[in-house]
Structure 1
Amino acid sequence: MTSVDDIKARVCEAIDRAADRITALSDDILRHPETGYKETRTSGVVVEQMKQLGLDPQTGLARTGVKGRLRGRSQGPTVAVVGELDSLIIPDHPFADPVTGAAHACGHNAQIASMIGAGIGLAEVSGELDGDVVLFAVPAEECIEVDWRLGLRDQGELHHTAGKAELIRAGHFDDVDLAMLTHAGPAMLPMGVGANANGSLVKRIRFHGRSAHAGAAPWAGVSAYKAATVAIAAIDAHREMFRDEDGVRVHHLITHAGDAVTAIPARTDMEMLIRARTIEGMKRASEQVDRALRGGALAMGADVEITTAVSFLPFSDDAALVEVLEPNGRALVGDGFVDLKDLAAGGSTDMGDLGSVMPVVQPIASCGTDAVAHGNAFYTKDHVAAAVLPAKVMAMTVVDLLVDGAARARKVLDAGGPKMTRQEFVDLHDSLSTDERFSGGGLSAEA
């Protein structure tokens, strides 16, 4: 009888033989970044990679998602190895697209490569696994281009700004029981697991005023821009009132200030992200922000439209899955494997959404640079550390989960306790999504 260690050794040997293919894939995607729900080239590359594995992938899931399935020898739990397709927009990044400004400053290129790499290894042994493996390239993890994405929602094409929530809602994760994804981290961290991430709400805000000649008759106008700046000041005043335990972060952009410097602005648009460690914390901070937005409108006599939607639910690694993955990480990087459970990260990920419906784990692996993620100096410099080693740790963990009647996968599922159903997930998202128009009263008054 073949031992688990022998199976894992064959998996790693297959990944090593394909190391050049894996690193080339990571580098290719790095050099061809695409933002969320627009990842058409990247999806096409993934389709070809899956076909080389003998898979017949599903395509066009949530616009650009790609899903392939490696069949095990018997029915059992299904484990997904996930990679994210999309990039950020950072025009001064060294690998930015010169036209769109898109750039892989969060390492998603390496995620896709590690997903394919894990598939290469697991294809060698799928006939010895008691369950299936899904390779799932998912769109739109980064919460950017908010107005455009909410426009797709308004048109009925999408429900969610983030890809995994959209895929969950559409039922594309219904046939998956557990999932994993390896995220890029700094060079000082060879590999680690256990980090948490905040949930977040996204807001699209539009202040409505009245235009007037800014020099000859400014008193005849109602400044949408000034209403926005008053609201921003009020939000800043709230920052000392946010609860420490909520870990709140509020970020905003003014995406449209006005149309001409010679006219009182009649329209000012904003995008805003509100992060907190819990759903209740997200709600509390959102209510405080909404009061500030209404206050800005009231102060200047403007109107304000506030659209709120969930971008991500709070994330934490599944403890039982960590127990399975950690020995494999330590086998690969030794003392370089770090326990991150005490790290309260201020960022967010839609792995939190996936974790609300199934056990998930998201190890972190070095990208080869010590720059801060989402910055113009963060990129995949070491494709072996960022893609090949993660392919191994995920494939080895899948083997542990699905050998011997998938006993460890079943143990993880039992230990995790009840998760949300798809309908409960949809209902939660919908309950946190609101649309409001508040009148400051000035637009009804005579100019």
Structure 2
Amino acid sequence: MSMTKEQLKQKACEAIDQNREKIVALGRSIFSEPELGYKEFKTADKVKKVFDELGYAYQDGVAITGIVAPRKGRKSNIRVAVMGELDAVVAPGHRCADPKTGAAHSCGHNAQIASMVGVAYALKDTGIMEELDGDIVLMAVPSEEYVEIEYRNELKKAGKIWFLGGKQEFIKLGVMDDIDMMVMQHLTTPEYAYEGKKVLCGCGSNGFVGKLIRYIGKEAHAGGAPHLGINALNAANIGLAALAAQRETFQDKDHIRVHPIMNKGGDLVNVVPADVRLETYVRGSNMEAILDASFKVSRAFKAGGDAVGAKCEITDLPGYLPTIEAMELNELMAGNLSGLIGEENVAITGPANSGSTDQGDLSYIMPTVQSFFAAASGIGHSESYEIADEELAYIVPAKAMVMTCIDLLWDGAAKGIEVKNNYKPEMTKEEYLKKWGNM
């Protein structure tokens, strides 16, 4: 006997509740063993272990560490991806930081993986997929945090990746070719929650260009004969000062942010620095402004080299595109969350996030939604970040995501087809790879 849509949702939520301890334990385990992008082998193994226990077929090693597990519906009218991100950031002072790499889950990606796995539990032996007219594809995706740019650029040079971000690489590899839309979640802290709500369903975000800057000078004895050298560190300091002088030319409406770090400032204190390296983002709310600011930033860094006679090498890399919202998906997710935690605790969209995510790249090609759950405490990307509300971090998102998938795939996947047809992508995959991938 067929179930109604609401009965399917109830059955999915019951399955998640029955596996609550496993889902929470996975989230805690990943939190305790953080890994950086394209190195998430232990985390990937934890996901594969769950899929093996559930008897799910999957492809692993996708973009080095990614995992893709499709669940077939009664028909395959459309395909919805449910994503979680595998990687961590660098916060070496965190209590769970990796002592060698400084990696820490100070952005909540552990909760993304746990809730994605929660959806996997909801679909096992519940009869749900047999009632749906589309597929759900579970994806554990590497490398959302755009860090260790120099390391990843070496992977790119070696032909192991093309893009530095995992979702971007999934696009390049064709993983998203038969996917019609994507749903996922992200954590935030109550201090950053929109209008004090527990959940914000969707919002825009900044895009950015990534830059590697290298100054090449000439070594000499720093105390005995500095006049024989060319000081690359001085060049970098002048370049940074020139960058600071550009900031007043950035318009408030474009939300430009430039935040460089120096990875190498020389080799020995008694040798004139001849090899100095920096990396930075140039963020903004629209691509025209980002590219304009990127030009100014490069000009400033080059001026530093010219000032002292050092060579300045700049490598521009495609960062992430600004996120375009799919309001129909936002509303579907918000409706399901209202039933779970109360309408008063849920907001639909809000001001664009000044951060960046490779969800933005997907949103140029297909409808996507990422809901933000105020389930963490402390400061994001810092040593103080903790999971404060495990129910809201792990369990509620899993329920909301699977309920939204049921909405999309019920009754011939009518709602999913409607969302797909109403969404006007900014680019095809081919245009994306040509315009952005070949930067």
TM-score (norm 2): 0.96
One of 160, 168, 177 as aligned partner of 2:171: 168
Moved more, 387-396 or 319-328: 319-328
Kept in 2: contact 1:309–1:429 (CA 8 A): no
Kept in 2: contact 1:141–1:350 (CA 8 A): yes
Displacement of 1:341 after TM fit? 3.0
Residue equivalent to 1:18: 19
Kept in 2: contact 1:184–1:386 (CA 8 A): yes
Displacement of 1:215 after TM fit? 1.7
2:325 equivalent to 1:322: no
2:16 equivalent to 1:9: no
Residue equivalent to 1:430: 437
Distance in 2 between residues matched to 1:368 and 1:403, nearest whole Å: 33
Residue equivalent to 1:132: 135
Residue equivalent to 2:90: 89
Residue equivalent to 1:210: 218
Matched to 2:77, the amino acid is: G
Kept in 2: contact 1:192–1:339 (CA 8 A): yes
Give the secondary structure class of the aligned counterpart of 1:344: coil
One of 399, 402, 420 as aligned partner of 1:395: 402
Residue equivalent to 1:37: 38
Distance in 2 between residues matched to 1:216 and 1:105, nearest whole Å: 46
One of 213, 229, 238 as aligned partner of 1:230: 238
Give the secondary structure class of the aligned counterpart of 2:259: strand
Residue equivalent to 1:113: 114
Matched to 1:355, the amino acid is: S
1:408-444 deviations in Å (ceiling 9; x for gaps): 001100110245222111112234x2xxxxxxxxxxx
Residue equivalent to 2:387: 380
Residue equivalent to 1:443: none
Matched to 1:17, the amino acid is: Q
Distance in 1 between residues matched to 2:183 and 2:435, nearest whole Å: 23
Moved more, 16-25 or 49-58: 49-58
Displacement of 1:402 after TM fit? 0.3
Displacement of 1:356 after TM fit? 1.3
1:142-181 deviations in Å (ceiling 9; x for gaps): 0111100001111111111111111100101112111011
One of 152, 174, 183 as aligned partner of 1:149: 152
Matched to 1:32, the amino acid is: E
Distance in 2 between residues matched to 1:72 and 1:260, nearest whole Å: 62
1:313-345 deviations in Å (ceiling 9; x for gaps): 111331121122111011112145343633232
Residue equivalent to 1:414: 421
Matched to 1:159, the amino acid is: W
Matched to 1:425, the amino acid is: Y
Matched to 1:393, the amino acid is: A
Consecutive aligned runs of 4 or more in structure 1 exceeding 6 Å deviation: none
Distance in 2 between residues matched to 1:223 and 1:324, nearest whole Å: 58
Displacement of 1:231 after TM fit? 0.6
Kept in 1: contact 2:215–2:313 (CA 8 A): yes
Matched to 2:352, the amino acid is: A
Unaligned runs of 5+ in 2: none
Kept in 2: contact 1:87–1:102 (CA 8 A): yes
Matched to 2:249, the amino acid is: M
One of 286, 293, 297 as aligned partner of 2:305: 297
Displacement of 1:74 after TM fit? 1.0
Residue equivalent to 2:81: 80
1:72-122 deviations in Å (ceiling 9; x for gaps): 011210001000000011110121112221100000000000001012113
Residue equivalent to 2:271: 263
Displacement of 1:308 after TM fit? 0.6
Displacement of 1:347 after TM fit? 0.5
Distance in 2 between residues matched to 1:288 and 1:416, nearest whole Å: 34
Moved more, 122-131 or 286-295: 122-131
Matched to 1:96, the amino acid is: A
Matched to 2:403, the amino acid is: M
TM-score (norm 1): 0.94
Displacement of 1:192 after TM fit? 1.3
2:65 equivalent to 1:64: yes
Residue equivalent to 1:437: none
Distance in 2 between residues matched to 1:276 and 1:399, nearest whole Å: 35
Matched to 1:105, the amino acid is: S
Distance in 1 between residues matched to 2:252 and 2:35, nearest whole Å: 36
Kept in 1: contact 2:331–2:348 (CA 8 A): no
Kept in 2: contact 1:86–1:139 (CA 8 A): yes
Unaligned runs of 5+ in 1: 434-447
Displacement of 1:245 after TM fit? 1.4
Give the secondary structure class of the aligned counterpart of 1:33: coil
Identity of aligned residues (%): 39
Matched to 2:99, the amino acid is: P
Residue equivalent to 1:28: 29
Distance in 2 between residues matched to 1:430 and 1:6, nearest whole Å: 44
1:261-300 deviations in Å (ceiling 9; x for gaps): 1121111011111111111121011001011011111111
Matched to 1:48, the amino acid is: K
Matched to 2:84, the amino acid is: G
Displacement of 1:216 after TM fit? 1.9
Kept in 2: contact 1:194–1:316 (CA 8 A): no
Aligned Cα RMSD in Å?
1.3
Number of residues paired by the alignment?
A: 431
